[in-house]
């Protein structure tokens, strides 16, 4: 895979099948992007596990922080790397030592390491680079388009506010653009689920 672009079916398949996400570089500071992404995914039903050696033993949004991936006592589906690309090889080494092995290595916006990606893929791990799962979830579920963003409609009129609560959209539903969202178990254009 070139990792310059990803088919929506590839990203959606990862976001639908991965339920437990270890976020390496999670921050307890509520003004940090890793905190926003962590909170967003936690609110969407993902089991989020923060990994940060400086905060080990503390809690972020009620979730215990671990110093490293090897300390996590349960299986992890995806590792979300919210650190500099220079640590990607070490994070992959930790992933390869885990049993069972995580299925996905996701590197956040601005994080790209093609050599580590090739190594991960050779070991059977899916890789996403220079993307944010929070943004991709919002885009694929149409949450981003819910209040007019990415709706292809410009207006000076304020969008109506929801009557009560906050609307959260899911990945497995009909989009606001009229198309249906394929489930991860359905084959994509290559015939793979």
DSSP per-residue letters across 82-123: -S-GGGHHHHHHHHHHSSSPPSEEEE-TT---HHHHHHHHHT
Query: What's the average model confidence in pLDDT over 93-113?
Result: 97
More confident residue, 25 or 168: 25
Q: State residue 106 phi and psi, 5-degree precision.
A: -115, 120
How many Å apart are CA 138 and CA 133, to the nearest integer?
8
pLDDT of res. 25: 97
More confident residue, 188 or 70: 70
Instruction: Tell me 158's DSSP state.
Output: P
pLDDT over threshold 60, residue 147: no
More confident residue, 40 or 174: 40
The answer to whether residues 141 and 169 touch, using CB atoms and an 8 Å cutoff, is yes
pLDDT of res. 173: 52
How many Å apart are CA 184 and CA 77, to the nearest integer?
15
Q: Is the pTM value of this prediction over 0.75?
A: yes
Query: What's the average model confidence in pLDDT over 61-79?
Result: 97
- The percent of residues above 70 in pLDDT, for the chain, comes to 74
110-to-82, 114, 119, 132 alpha-carbon distances in Å: 10, 13, 19, 10
Query: What's the average model confidence in pLDDT over 129-155?
Result: 73
123-to-15, 81, 108, 150, 160 alpha-carbon distances in Å: 20, 18, 20, 37, 48
Question: For residue 153, what pLDDT band results from cuts at 50, 70 and 90?
Answer: low
Please, is 135 exposed, middle or buried when counting C-beta atoms within 10 Å of its C-beta (0-12, 13-18, 19+)? Answer: middle
Characterise 191 by phi-psi region: left (phi > 0), alpha (psi -120 to 50), beta (else).
Answer: left
Question: For residue 192, what pLDDT band results from cuts at 50, 70 and 90?
Answer: very low
How many Å apart are CA 35 and CA 28, to the nearest integer?
6
């Amino acid at each position: 895979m070139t990792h310059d672009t990803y088919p929506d079916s590839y990203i959606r398949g990862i976001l639908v099948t991965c339920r437990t996400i270890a976020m390496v570089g999670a921050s307890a500071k509520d003004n940090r992007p890793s905190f926003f992404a962590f909170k967003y995914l936690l609110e969407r039903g993902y089991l989020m596990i923060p990994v940060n050696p400086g905060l080990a033993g503390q809690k972020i949004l009620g979730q215990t922080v671990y110093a490293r991936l090897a300390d996590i006592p349960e299986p992890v589906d995806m590792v979300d790397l919210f650190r500099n690309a220079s640590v990607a090889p070490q994070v992959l080494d930790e992933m390869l030592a885990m049993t069972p092995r995580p299925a996905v290595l996701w590197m956040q916006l601005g994080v790209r390491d093609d050599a580590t990606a090739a190594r991960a893929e050779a070991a059977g791990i899916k890789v996403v680079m220079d993307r944010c799962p929070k943004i991709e979830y919002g885009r694929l579920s149409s949450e981003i388009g819910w209040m007019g963003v990415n709706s292809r409609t410009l207006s000076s009129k304020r969008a109506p506010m929801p009557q009560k609560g906050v609307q959260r959209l899911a990945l497995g539903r009909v989009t606001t653009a009229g198309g249906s969202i394929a489930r991860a178990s359905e084959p994509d254009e290559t015939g793979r689920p």
